[in-house]
Structures are given as structure tokens and as C-alpha cells.
Amino acid sequence: MNDPAGASGSDAPNGSFAAWRDVAHELADLADELTLGAFRGHLDVRTKADGTWVTEVDETVERTLREGIRDRFPDHAFLGEEDGRQGPADAPTWIVDPIDGTSNFVRGNPIFATCIAVQWRGREVVGVVSAPALRTRWDGIAGGPARQDGREVRVSDVADLASAEVALGGLDVFAAHDRLPLAEALAGRAWRVRGYGDFWQHCLVAAGSTDVAVEAEVALWDLAAVKCIVEAAGGTFTDLTGAVTADGGSAVASNGRLHDEVLALAAGTR
């Protein structure tokens, strides 16, 4: 197929972002059909070298999206959780987590999603996160807007951690990375702490119903799409050191007003 955005390689104009988002929605539709068709059915589950689970559905979704992207944008690059990177280093790069929350998917928990992002010139410019069992989908493009099910969303205006809801990733991961003191500090200062996990907590920050989300260990394909969505909603997204990146191995998503305080706690609890 021809490039619907009229852009290729590293010369993509800003007008391409919305077109790439539209393609990401088409690809998410394909992914939703595959994941919902298999959800709560019999699954072939294997344990990867890093100890996490993978199913044949993860692999099928990633392959389907990779082929769909190659058909539409033959000179773009692709990075997937299961099969790694393909394509030129300087090209717009599609970053895909075929099932974020595979363990939830395997156990019949509806909190799973397909995450699709486009990174251009080192910046996440498109993000789509589709959670079909929750019947909801988020998207965002660089400069905004961010949307949930087509409705624009914004981060909250909570400016005091004592009034904030904070979401944390798994406490076992915090413990493994000597970050339990940070979790304890946040629990002691925040209005309340919840453990939504995975993509969901970051999307809740974008939608304004949660104020901060923190993860102690996470990968680029987990974060690229949600980083774009949080930023498009007016929020701030960094790693725990404060670097503005989806590839720092950790994550802090916030409404922006609370970000410095959370980073200070992270630095002070090392």
C-alpha cells in the first residue's frame, strides 16, 4: 500500500502523526480481534528466559502488526517485544507490545492491552493502547490531543501529594530493585496508593483519575505508547532519575504538578 501520510524515512512532517495514529487504530482493531478471540480459552503458554510468560497469541499479534506496518510503510522500522528490531535506525519506528499484561491475559484477568507507538527522531509521537476486554482504548499524538474512546482527556490538577492517588507497579519488582523505601514513602505521603499495574495506571494518569504512576522496572515497548498519551494529555513522563525517556528501565508518569516531589522522594530513598 502507499504511505497514507505522504511521508517516509526520517523526513516525516508533523501532519503525518494523525495519519500514523489512524493506522495504529486499524492495527489495534486487528489485535483486538485476535486477543479477544483467544481470551479465557486454551492457551499455549511458555516461559521466556527472563521468567515472563509468552503465548502463541502474543506472537501472532506481533507478527500480524509487523506485516501490516511493512505493507503500509515499507521503509519504516519495527520493534516488537518478541522478535526485536527490524529496519533502518533513522526511520520512524513502530514499537509494539502485542499483549501488555500477558500474565493477566493468561489468568483470565481483563487488564491487558495491545500497545502501539511510533517513535520519530528519538521522540514518541503516536501512542495507541487498546484494552478490548475492558472495552476501552486510549490514543495520543505529540502536541495533543489525548483521547479515550474518542473523547479528549487531560491530566488532573492535583498539586499536593497528600491529595493525590498514586499507582504503583508490582511491589516484588520494587523490592528486587531496592525501591521499597520509595513505595513506603509514597504510601506515607499520598492520599491513597493503588496497584493498577501495567499500561492501565499510566492511562489513568492521562485521563485524570490517577495523579501519579510509578514503576521500578519496565521496558521500552511497555512505555512508548503510554508516554506519548500521558504527554499528549498534558502530563510529564520520565524515568526515576528524571530523564525524559521511555527507555530508562523505570517510569514516573504524573500530572506534572507532582513530578518533582516524586523524583525527590526517589532520589532521597536510594
- pLDDT number for residue 119: 97
- pLDDT number for residue 9: 41
| Rounded (10°) angle between helices 259-268 and 180-189 | 140
- pLDDT number for residue 11: 55
DSSP conformation letters of 114-136: EEEEEEETTEEEEEEEEEGGGTE
Cell reading at 214 = 510509578
Residues 6+ apart with CB under 8 A from 130: 28, 31, 32, 113, 114, 116, 137
Which has the closest alpha carbon to 28: 124, 100, 104, 119? 100
Which has the closest alpha carbon to 132: 145, 115, 117? 115
Taking CA atoms, 19 is separated from 1, 197, 259, in Å, by: 14, 30, 31
Which has the closest alpha carbon to 101: 198, 173, 32? 198
Give the N- to C-terminal CA distance of the chain in Å, as an integer: 51
Which has the closest alpha carbon to 147: 138, 136, 135? 138
Could you read off the pLDDT tens digit of each residue along the chain, which spans 270 residues?
333 333 444 455 557 999 999 999 999 999 999 999 999 999 989 888 888 888 999 999 999 999 999 999 999 999 998 888 999 989 999 999 999 999 999 999 999 999 999 999 999 999 999 999 999 999 999 999 999 999 999 999 999 999 999 999 999 999 999 999 999 999 999 999 999 989 999 999 999 999 999 999 999 999 999 999 999 999 999 999 999 999 999 999 999 999 999 999 999 998
- pLDDT number for residue 12: 57
d(CA 225, CA 95): 8
Domains of the chain plus CATH, in order, are 16-142 (3.30.540.10), 161-268 (3.40.190.80)
Q: Is 270 helix (H, G, I), strand (E, B) or coil?
A: coil
- pLDDT number for residue 247: 97
- pLDDT number for residue 162: 98
Cβ atoms of 3 and 73 within 8 Å: the answer is yes
The β-bridge partners of 128 are 116, 139
